[in-house]
Amino acid sequence: MAHVADESPKLFGIVAEFDDPDALVAAATKARVAGYKKFDAYSPMPIHGLAEAMHFEDIRIPWMAFFGGITGCCLGMGFQAWIALIDYPMNVGGKPLFTWPQFIPITFEATVLVTGLTTFVSQFALNGLPKPYNPMFNAKNFDRASQDRFFLCIETRDPKFDEASVTEFLQGLGALDVSEVPA
């Protein structure tokens, strides 16, 4: 990862630490209203209303799951139909070859399997995980972001980023602590 660190600025962002989830939601709202674009909030549990406060929305996962399901369904039914009609047709007492009601259970299972795998993989892919190194791990006290503290980080790649003004802005939000995050 060293070559990435050389090219990017030394500072990743400025982080503010809170001890209350509601304060974090309020801070995220203010950061958005103040016109910051590249910022993120970190919390030890999902906070409802936080993504909305940041005006963040992403509906790709449900769509991917949907198309994954369609794919699984077609694969499941198609494969069984291909076996029954083309590759290995078996005449059972003159009954029709395409006995579709008996193909439903496996079609259903294939639909669920592919939907689940797609959802699982796309969650990681869209979140950029696994990511062993994250500059946020350098932030002061950040080990508590998975336990009992709430963080808001305004990143240097934000067009409005200015070290002094961002620090002042974050201090005005009632944070416990405001500190720099080295990249």
Partner 1 sequence: MAINSIDSSKRTRLVPQNFIDGEHSYTTISEILAGVVLNPKPPTVWFVATGLGFAVLNVMLLAVTYLVLTGTGVWGNNQPTAWAWDIINFVWWIGIGHAGTLISAILLLMRQSWRNSINRFAEAMTIFAVMCAGLYPLLQTGRPWLGCWLFPYANTLGMWPQTRSPLEWDVFAVSTYFTISLLFWFLGLIPDIATLRDRSQHPLVQGIYGLASMGWVGSAKHWFRYEQAYNILAGISAPLVLSVHTIVSFDFAVGIVPGWHTTIFPPYFVAGAVFAGFAMVLTFGLPLRSIYPQIKDFITPKHLDWMAKILLATGLIVFYGYILEMFYGWYSGNTYELALVYNRLFGPYKWFYYALIFCNGIFPQLCWVPQLRRNVPFLFVLSIIVGIGMWLERFVIIPMSLTRDFLTSSWGYYAPTEWDWALFIGTMGFFVFLLFMFIKVLPIINIFEMRDLLLKNHHQFGHGHDDHENAEEAH
Contact residues for partner 1, defined by CB under 8 A: 21, 28, 40-47, 50-51, 54, 56-58, 61-62, 65, 69, 79-80, 83-84, 87-88, 99, 102-103, 105-106, 108-110, 112-113, 115-117, 119-120, 122-124, 126-127, 129-134, 136-137, 142-148
Question: Scanning the structure block, which residue is given the tokens 């079609």?
Answer: 107
State which residue, 125 or 162, has the beta carbon closest to partner 1: 125
State which residue, 11 or 81, has the beta carbon closest to partner 1: 81
Q: What is the nearest approach in angstroms of partner 1 to the Cβ of residue 46? A: 4
Q: What is the nearest approach in angstroms of partner 1 to the Cβ of residue 113? A: 4
State which residue, 148 or 164, has the beta carbon closest to partner 1: 148
Q: What is the nearest approach in angstroms of partner 1 to the Cβ of residue 130? A: 4
State which residue, 6 or 87, has the beta carbon closest to partner 1: 87
| Rounded Cα distance, 124 and 48, in Å | 21
| Rounded Cα distance, 165 and 126, in Å | 31
Stated as kind and residue range, the H or E segment containing 155 is strand 150-155
Task: State phi, psi for 34 to the nearest 5 degrees.
Answer: -70, -5
Reading the block at residue 62, the tokens are 């449900």
State which residue, 82 or 162, has the beta carbon closest to partner 1: 82
| Rounded Cα distance, 53 and 25, in Å | 7
CB 129 within 8 A of CB 121: no
Reading the block at residue 178, the tokens are 């405001």
How would you classify residue 47: left for phi > 0, otherwise alpha for psi between -120 and 50, otherwise beta? beta
Q: What is the nearest approach in angstroms of partner 1 to the Cβ of residue 172? A: 21
Q: What is the nearest approach in angstroms of partner 1 to the Cβ of residue 17? A: 13
